[in-house]
């Protein structure tokens, strides 16, 4: 079901709503081999990705077909990428950074796709690297890993955005040298 050419849509929302039934049908077919609960979760996640792709394309003056949207959202979701990582939402509500296990937070999305030897190497390298950072840098790394933006972290730590940029760029360079 292609978008009718004669009918011009008023905005991106209306345009997406026109192709939504077809996109949903295609995604349910793509995830047909999953269990019922898992299938619905994956379909909803992929639909969110479809909306994001459609809105970005609309801003650039492009119209995307339902099949293309469904295909790329299916590939992305099938690969394990989630539109909104559930753990991230719950982690942002934690009050204590000290309770945060950065190794688990940073490696958990990749479990099952990394060979065990690489997971172990990452955990050893990461522990050594974080041990070299000062307390404020460790807090900044933890907050960034929890999904906060640099500007939010700067506000939470009481530092300037320039400090965040300079120190996080240095931390990034140090990590590249360590890894």
The pLDDT, as a whole number, for residue 22 is: 92
The pLDDT, as a whole number, for residue 25 is: 93
Please state the separation of Cα 92 from the chain's center in Å.
14
Q: Compute how many other C-beta atoms are within 10 angstroms of the C-beta atom of residue 69.
A: 26
Domains of the chain: 12-78 (no CATH), 86-178 (1.10.10)
pLDDT by 10s per residue, the chain, length 179: 444 443 444 567 788 888 889 999 999 999 998 887 788 888 888 888 888 888 888 888 888 888 888 888 888 888 776 666 544 444 445 445 555 565 555 655 444 566 667 777 777 888 888 888 888 888 888 888 777 888 888 888 889 988 888 888 888 888 888 76
Distance CA 145, CA 149 (A): 10
Sign of CA dihedral 123, 110, 54, 89: negative
Distance CA 30, CA 152 (A): 38
Distance CA 41, CA 56 (A): 23
Distance CA 43, CA 28 (A): 6
């Amino acid at each position: 079901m292609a978008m009718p050419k004669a009918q011009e849509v008023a905005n991106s929302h209306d345009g997406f709503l026109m192709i939504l039934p077809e996109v949903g049908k295609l995604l349910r077919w793509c995830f047909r081999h999953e269990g019922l609960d898992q299938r619905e979760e994956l379909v909803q996640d992929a639909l969110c990705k479809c909306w994001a792709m459609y809105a970005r394309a609309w801003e650039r003056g492009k119209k995307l077909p339902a099949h293309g949207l469904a295909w790329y959202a299916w590939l992305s979701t099938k690969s394990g990428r989630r539109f909104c990582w559930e753990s991230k939402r719950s982690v942002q509500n934690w009050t204590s950074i000290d309770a945060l296990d950065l190794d688990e937070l940073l490696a958990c999305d990749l479990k099952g796709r990394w060979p065990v030897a690489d997971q172990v190497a990452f955990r050893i390298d990461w522990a050594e690297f974080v041990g070299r950072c000062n307390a404020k840098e460790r807090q900044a790394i933890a907050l960034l890993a929890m999904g906060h933006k640099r500007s939010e972290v700067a506000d939470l730590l009481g530092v300037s955005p320039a400090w965040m940029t300079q120190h996080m760029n240095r931390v990034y360079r140090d990590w590249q040298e360590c890894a």
